[in-house]
Structure 1
Amino acid sequence: MVIPHNKLLNKALLEGVPGGIVVVNAEGEIVTINDLALELLNIKEENVVGKQVIDVIPNTRIDVILESGRVELNQYQNLNKNRILTNRMPICDQGEIIGAVAYFQEDKEAEEMAKELEGVKRLKKNLETILNSIDDGIHVVDEEGLTIFYNSKMAELENHEKEQVLDEKLLDIFPSLDRTTSTLLRTLDSQKPIMEHEQSYTNYKGEEITTINKTLPITLDNQFIGALEIAKDVTKLKELSEKNLDLQSELYKADDTEKKELNNGTKYLFSDIIGQNWDLKKKIKYAKQASKTSSSVLISGQTGTGKELFAQSIHNSSPRRGKPFIAQNCAALPKDLLEGILFGTKKGGFTGAVDRKGLFEQANGGTILLDEINSMSLELQAKLLRVLQEGMIRYVGGNELIEVDVRVIATINKEPAKAFQAGELREDLYYRLAVVNLQLPSLQERKDDISLLVEYFINKFNRKFNYRISGITKEVEKLFLKYDWPGNVRQLEHVLEGAINIVGKRGKIEEQHVEPFMIDIKNIKEDNEEDNLNINSEESLPELMEDIEKRLIKEAIDDTAGNISQAARDLGVKRQSLQYKINKYSLQT
């Protein structure tokens, strides 16, 4: 059969389009329908031409178009669980409606967008839940200064309802601010971040609030769209710091009579450092020599090795002992607060600032201890370096330079080289501080002092509690010698105090009394059973120490193939001392 040319053309056009087509006449009868329309509409009948469209497609609106003559474009319709995008229009001839056509296609893109939107909504809800649960205030504004996010902590700090702030302009809600005092508006204007900014204000409850703010510009596809502010509440921290400053001021008043009545803020002397270890004794000797000068001192060592004890002893043996000794932990305060604490603040220098002397000025003539110097920001370290070089300070918010005479002792709880690598300590500051450099040994490196320390602490707690603890058992001695002591002397003190509380007024400290206070004690006890030192449980502590020393010397000789000089260097002792020990223990070389 030969198909007429015009019918071939019509069929090609109908089947070539990427959508379904249905054409009806004025009576609503289907005159044309393509295969894709049959598929999308899930029509199983082979021949629907000539049938009423409302019988074939029950929810169609083509019959409505025939009556109204209106065009309906981009209409969404759900057909057979598919979302369909439909365009319907009448067919007119000389102003008369002679039929209608519907063109539709499956809206896969819209479906995917809907799923994606649903996922975005879930993500937004989860993100809001997280941001509302954190302990920092978060405030986000768009490029017009309109609040688009305001979390629960920020609402608590500023005593606002979130609903009052959302979708409102910043200056309408906070009329006391302007474009120079609001960090959010400053970031909107400059499109640059503002880091670690201290801000003090009175909230709607009349409470004085101090926050450390970080304000960041927000960009999307390289387009600036707003600003985000993260506010950390440091109100209580600042109150405690100011109380501390007030107490320090009272303690170090300039009146000479009062100075005699009050101590200088210390309690330790060199005589309080317990130990006979050769390395410890060497460090005590160096520290005593350093106390005669006013040079800066850097004391490094693990936590609990006695860094502040050394610092106070140096001060109390120096010509400055009658002057103040003031300690400040650099890890305890944010950068902006710490700078004001150290150098003082000038009224009007920033919001909420008052005239207040800093610790350097209060310690004038004496010593300041900067504990954990590697926790100080690099920016503040640069300012400290200038103070050390020039002997002058400047108040935060002030212009005047004030001369101070203060000896600086700093501590660090890791090796300085590792602090350099981690970007925690400026090398130039290190060289300026480490004029005297004291590296304190850990308790693991001075286990020969454990028996002395045990005796000292037991006597200390006996006096404190009015107890009569007679000592520790041999099993505890061996356990203490085997243990690594990650918390050093401070940990040993706490372990003994805890054990004494379990023992009671009389008796000896046994393994069961110390086990609850020692980390990884189970592993150590298991290791003791297989220890290559093969410790004799009947040995006394001096005998045990000699046995350990003998085996360590033998290992060092074996490792160096009998090279006495190298073995001495590895053991950290003089060659003559090692030779003496070799002869004493009749060791072969």
Structure 2
Amino acid sequence: MVRTRNGRHNREDGVKRNALQDRLMENQQKILLYETILEHLDVGIHVINQCGETVVYNATMSKLECCNADEMLDKNLLSAMPHLTEDTSTLFTALRTGRALNNRQQTYINAHGQQVVTVNSTTPLQIGGRVFGALEIAKDITFIQELAETVMNLQEKLFHCKKGTVSNGHHPNTRYVITDILGESAAMKTALSYAVRAARTASNILIYGETGTGKELFAQSIHNLSPRKNQPFVAINCAALPEQLLEGLLFGTTKGAFTGAVDRPGLFEQASGGTLLLDELNSMNLNLQAKLLRVLQENSLRRVGGVNEVPINVRVIGTMNMEPAEAIQEKRLREDLFYRLGVMTINTPPLRDRKEDIAAYTAAFIGKYNPLLGIRVQGIAAEVKDVFRRYAWPGNVRELQHAIEGAMNLIDDEAEIQFHHLPMAFRANLVDALQLKRENLRQELMSFDRPLTDQREAMEKKLIAAALAVAGDNITKAAERLGLTRQVLQYKLKKYKLK
């Protein structure tokens, strides 16, 4: 009995040891997994313990701060970074206060004396309400900051150098006037008439349309047709910059607003008296949109970190690559900002809805590239005209321009652009579009599992229901919409049991 009992105990101990070894192995694998993830993230990760000593410092943070991990790990942060203090370090601030610091822009000197600009999010690490460390996630925006400041400086110098000078109807920062916008289609004529009317006023404008439909061309043309044409035209792409940097660029900064901040006017102040174009407005963070709304309402702003109100006189033109209603529904545009900014709205129609304009664009692009390329192309072949007419042009006018330019680079002494001159990428798009069209048609044919009569009646039923809805259930008005007599419509309503 004793021997049996001891054997059972030994087996149980062996099972426990195996379970413990399996758990240790699992934990080791998890640690290796987490370490691998940390080392391959494209953001800097820095963690300190409750004593302020660095316990995690990944490769991206090491590259960002130009410090080896050995210089930071297991060392007090303030000793490794002598320029920091407990008050200026966001990690120590989070450790001391127990509060998170989100999206803070910082400009600081690293351990090797190099200036670094980052956007940081720092959070305290807690267990049971007790702070045992702090985590910082940093993204390097040094290059973006330098590029943005260079653009601002050049733009400011350009304006001061050419202030008050307008040649051929152009402001120095613009290239287009209203006569540069081509198009004889009804949709384009409507957009142009709105642009001409908008130019007369000082109201803000929202221009929306697909990529490649000429939204910035409209914005520049409106400015050059307006009473503000002798004043600055300043443009910024809202999708190209992080929120913290964009805010400083728009509203300006005050010395001390954040580490490394200087007194600098923003784009609103640089555009004083003129026009500010906010391209891809729907890419702007909603919090920043709220601040923009306040500026538009008050006609004044506060620089980042400032307390004084700066009056502004700027007309704002916003552009979006989607319809306002869709942007509002998807939480990409504040509804109150739309009402403030979209005093006038202009829709730049897609090329597929105005293919009668293709001929004018084609002639204009050929005329543009002939002298540039030293050739004498007179037009496009009938086959190419047919292709252009059938194609859906997802890239709109910009895609057409690239197709013409690409084709003219392949021409020798021919007078017309032939199909084989078209760029290979464009021809590949044509093939893809044709295949998609054929597949959609095939799917439609496969769905016809009922006789044609039944299909026709189903469609007729839908159209009648839609007409009734539009007419508010008024049979006479619905009949007029459908081109039927009241008696015939009543017969069909009874037949389809719609009323």
TM over 0.5: yes
Equivalent residue, structure 1, for 2:282: 374
* Structure 1 residues 520 and 113: alpha-carbon distance in aligned structure 2, compared to 1, 3 A threshold: farther
* Structure 1 residues 346 and 521: alpha-carbon distance in aligned structure 2, compared to 1, 3 A threshold: same
User: C-alpha distance in 2, partners of 1:197/1:177?
Assistant: 16
Q: Would you say 1:387 and 2:320 are equivalent positions?
A: no
How much has 1:342 moved relative to structure 2?
1.0
Q: Would you say 1:523 and 2:427 are equivalent positions?
A: no
Given that residues 252 and 259 in structure 1 are in contact (C-alpha distance below 8 angstroms), is that contact kept between their aligned partners in structure 2?
no
How much has 1:228 moved relative to structure 2?
1.7
1:8-28 alpha-carbon deviations (Å, 9 max, x no partner): xxx6xxxxxxxxxxxxxxxxx
Equivalent residue, structure 1, for 2:336: 428
The one-letter amino acid of 1:317's match is L
Match 1:206 to one of 103, 110, 113: 113
Q: Would you say 1:237 and 2:206 are equivalent positions?
A: no
Q: Would you say 1:331 and 2:300 are equivalent positions?
A: no
Equivalent residue, structure 2, for 1:114: 21
1:308-337 alpha-carbon deviations (Å, 9 max, x no partner): 000001000000001110000011111111
* Structure 1 residues 527 and 144: alpha-carbon distance in aligned structure 2, compared to 1, 3 A threshold: closer
The one-letter amino acid of 2:245's match is L
1:261-317 alpha-carbon deviations (Å, 9 max, x no partner): 994310101111111110111111011011001000000111111000000010000
Equivalent residue, structure 2, for 1:467: 375
Equivalent residue, structure 2, for 1:153: 60
Q: Where do 1:102-501 residues align within 5 Å?
A: 105-219=12-126, 224-253=131-160, 263-501=171-409
How much has 1:472 moved relative to structure 2?
2.0
Describe the SS at the equivalent of 1:506.
coil
Of 451-460 and 510-519, deviating more is 510-519
How much has 1:260 moved relative to structure 2?
7.9
Q: Where do 1:23-42 residues align within 5 Å?
A: 33-38=2-7
Given that residues 126 and 132 in structure 2 are in contact (C-alpha distance below 8 angstroms), is that contact kept between their aligned partners in structure 1?
yes
How much has 1:190 moved relative to structure 2?
2.9
Describe the SS at the equivalent of 1:34.
helix
How much has 1:240 moved relative to structure 2?
0.7
TM-score normalised according to structure 1 size: 0.71
How much has 1:187 moved relative to structure 2?
1.8
User: C-alpha distance in 2, partners of 1:128/1:504?
Assistant: 59
User: C-alpha distance in 2, partners of 1:520/1:256?
Assistant: 46
* Structure 1 residues 516 and 221: alpha-carbon distance in aligned structure 2, compared to 1, 3 A threshold: farther
User: C-alpha distance in 1, partners of 2:134/2:68?
Assistant: 21
User: C-alpha distance in 2, partners of 1:520/1:257?
Assistant: 47
User: C-alpha distance in 1, partners of 2:289/2:73?
Assistant: 40
How much has 1:224 moved relative to structure 2?
4.5
Greater Rg by CA: 1
User: C-alpha distance in 2, partners of 1:502/1:133?
Assistant: 44
User: C-alpha distance in 1, partners of 2:81/2:294?
Assistant: 39
* Structure 1 residues 106 and 350: alpha-carbon distance in aligned structure 2, compared to 1, 3 A threshold: same
Greater relative contact order (CA < 8 Å, ≥ 6 in sequence): 2
* Structure 1 residues 356 and 125: alpha-carbon distance in aligned structure 2, compared to 1, 3 A threshold: same
User: C-alpha distance in 2, partners of 1:500/1:456?
Assistant: 13
Matched residues, number: 450
Q: Gapped runs of 5+ residues in structure 2?
A: 442-458, 470-482, 484-499
Which 4+ stretches in 1 moved above 6 angstroms?
Answer: 257-262, 527-532, 556-561
How much has 1:449 moved relative to structure 2?
1.1
Describe the SS at the equivalent of 1:226.
strand
Match 1:513 to one of 407, 415, 421: 421
Given that residues 150 and 162 in structure 1 are in contact (C-alpha distance below 8 angstroms), is that contact kept between their aligned partners in structure 2?
yes
Given that residues 515 and 521 in structure 1 are in contact (C-alpha distance below 8 angstroms), is that contact kept between their aligned partners in structure 2?
no
Given that residues 391 and 404 in structure 1 are in contact (C-alpha distance below 8 angstroms), is that contact kept between their aligned partners in structure 2?
yes
How much has 1:147 moved relative to structure 2?
1.8
Of 395-404 and 219-228, deviating more is 219-228
How much has 1:419 moved relative to structure 2?
1.6
Given that residues 184 and 229 in structure 1 are in contact (C-alpha distance below 8 angstroms), is that contact kept between their aligned partners in structure 2?
yes
User: C-alpha distance in 1, partners of 2:134/2:15?
Assistant: 36
Describe the SS at the equivalent of 2:160.
coil
Equivalent residue, structure 2, for 1:90: none
How much has 1:531 moved relative to structure 2?
11
Describe the SS at the equivalent of 1:227.
strand
* Structure 1 residues 222 and 119: alpha-carbon distance in aligned structure 2, compared to 1, 3 A threshold: farther
The one-letter amino acid of 1:361's match is E
User: C-alpha distance in 2, partners of 1:383/1:520?
Assistant: 42
How much has 1:526 moved relative to structure 2?
4.9
How much has 1:450 moved relative to structure 2?
1.3
How much has 1:158 moved relative to structure 2?
1.6
* Structure 1 residues 290 and 257: alpha-carbon distance in aligned structure 2, compared to 1, 3 A threshold: closer
Given that residues 165 and 171 in structure 2 are in contact (C-alpha distance below 8 angstroms), is that contact kept between their aligned partners in structure 1?
no
Describe the SS at the equivalent of 1:145.
coil
* Structure 1 residues 453 and 349: alpha-carbon distance in aligned structure 2, compared to 1, 3 A threshold: same
User: C-alpha distance in 1, partners of 2:351/2:29?
Assistant: 54
User: C-alpha distance in 2, partners of 1:224/1:512?
Assistant: 69
Q: Gapped runs of 5+ residues in structure 1?
A: 1-10, 12-32, 42-81, 83-104, 533-555, 567-578, 580-589
Equivalent residue, structure 2, for 1:98: none
* Structure 1 residues 450 and 147: alpha-carbon distance in aligned structure 2, compared to 1, 3 A threshold: same
Given that residues 106 and 119 in structure 2 are in contact (C-alpha distance below 8 angstroms), is that contact kept between their aligned partners in structure 1?
yes
Given that residues 495 and 517 in structure 1 are in contact (C-alpha distance below 8 angstroms), is that contact kept between their aligned partners in structure 2?
no
User: C-alpha distance in 2, partners of 1:437/1:122?
Assistant: 57
The one-letter amino acid of 2:4's match is D
User: C-alpha distance in 2, partners of 1:145/1:483?
Assistant: 63
The one-letter amino acid of 2:380's match is I
Given that residues 406 and 423 in structure 2 are in contact (C-alpha distance below 8 angstroms), is that contact kept between their aligned partners in structure 1?
no
User: C-alpha distance in 2, partners of 1:308/1:484?
Assistant: 22
Given that residues 83 and 109 in structure 2 are in contact (C-alpha distance below 8 angstroms), is that contact kept between their aligned partners in structure 1?
no
Aligned residues with identical type, % of pairs: 43
Of 246-255 and 383-392, deviating more is 246-255
Describe the SS at the equivalent of 2:422.
helix
